[in-house]
Amino acid sequence: MPASLPIPKKEKERAQSEPDAVRWLLITVALVFLALFLLLPLAAVFSQAFEKGLSVYLNALKEPDTLSSIKLTLVTAAVAVPLNLFFGVTAAWAIAKFTFPGKNLLITLIDLPFSVSPVISGLIYVLIFGLQGWTGPWLQDHDIKIVFAVPGIILATIFVTFPFVARELIPLMEAQGKEEEEAAMVLGATGLQTFFRVTLPNIRWGIIYGVILCNARAMGEFGAVSVVSGHIRGMTNTVPLHVEILYNEYNYTAAFAVASLLAFLALITLGVKTLAEWKVQLQLENK
């Protein structure tokens, strides 16, 4: 910095901040708003769930219908997340490490499922696989059920969680450049060796970030899954759908008990996400 007139410390502070009173007022307003809008609902989930004691809470979770909804949600996530992880890494490699025409269009298309209403995400599969849909009669002749059955739920979940890993990895891999990979190739590594030994360690936390968000949405998706599920108790109910059924039956304690599982998941997701964000930041700064 060239020698210039030194700005008095007090002036400098005034330049960058508000008077103390204003500052504390703004902090208070922001915190009260967040407490009312975010913290209160979170507290309410657990308070309602445990309202009638621990044994009622545990009994609600041990219901066979609840257990089968948990199982279906786990199966759905176990299919949707790895598929979208594989796709995300593949797409990010093609987009971040190479230049080609139509790249921006491709990125926009990958993000598309985020801008589509969840209800429409479910509807499109009903239109294709439903009885009145394109393949409906053929599927019925061959006794294959896709919508109002488990495959439909999995397809709709894959659709809504499609962009998570890719959209996290593309900017990260672009920021990291490709010099390290090029060095590995020049030194004689194969393509796969380069990916597993050079790229993967670099994008590890980015992957964790994308996967945890993808998983949260896969386990928590409601709108899209609701359209294709058919709501058969113990058969095609995921955890969020089961929460809806219990709530609509005025079984509030059980509804909130099951909902509290999803709230736990949300808290874990936020924790891991914050950690991953911090690690990615650290890695980029160390470059």
Which segment (34-42, 60-68, 137-145, 202-210) binds other proteins by CB under 8 A?
A: 34-42
Tell me which residues in 151-170 interact with other proteins (CB under 8 A).
Answer: 155, 158-159, 162
What's the Cα-to-Cα distance from 202 to each of 215, 217, 270, rounded to whole Å?
21, 25, 22
CA–CA dist 202, 181 (Å, integer): 11
Contact 126, 227 (CB under 8 A): yes
Decide whether 88 or 283 has the Cβ nearer to other proteins. 88
Contact 181, 194 (CB under 8 A): yes
Q: Which of 97, 145, 204, 279 binds other proteins (CB under 8 A)?
A: 97
How many helices and strands (H and E) does the chain possess? 16, 0
User: Residue 10, class by beta-carbon neighbours within 10 Å (0-12 exposed, 13-18 middle, 19+ buried)?
Assistant: exposed
Residues 6+ apart with CB under 8 A from 14: none
Does the footprint of other proteins cover residue 39 (CB under 8 A)? yes
Does the footprint of other proteins cover residue 216 (CB under 8 A)? yes
Decide whether 23 or 71 has the Cβ nearer to other proteins. 23
Does the footprint of other proteins cover residue 282 (CB under 8 A)? no
Tell me which residues in 116-135 interact with other proteins (CB under 8 A).
Answer: 116-120, 123-128, 130, 132-134
Counting residues that bind other proteins (by CB under 8 A) gives 101
Decide whether 58 or 127 has the Cβ nearer to other proteins. 127
Closest approach of other proteins to the CB of residue 271, in Å: 8
Tell me which residues in 242-281 interact with other proteins (CB under 8 A).
Answer: 243-244, 247, 252, 255-256, 259, 262-263, 265-267, 269-271, 273-274
Contact 202, 184 (CB under 8 A): no
Does the footprint of other proteins cover residue 232 (CB under 8 A)? no
Which stretches of the chain are assigned E, i.e. beta strand?
A: none
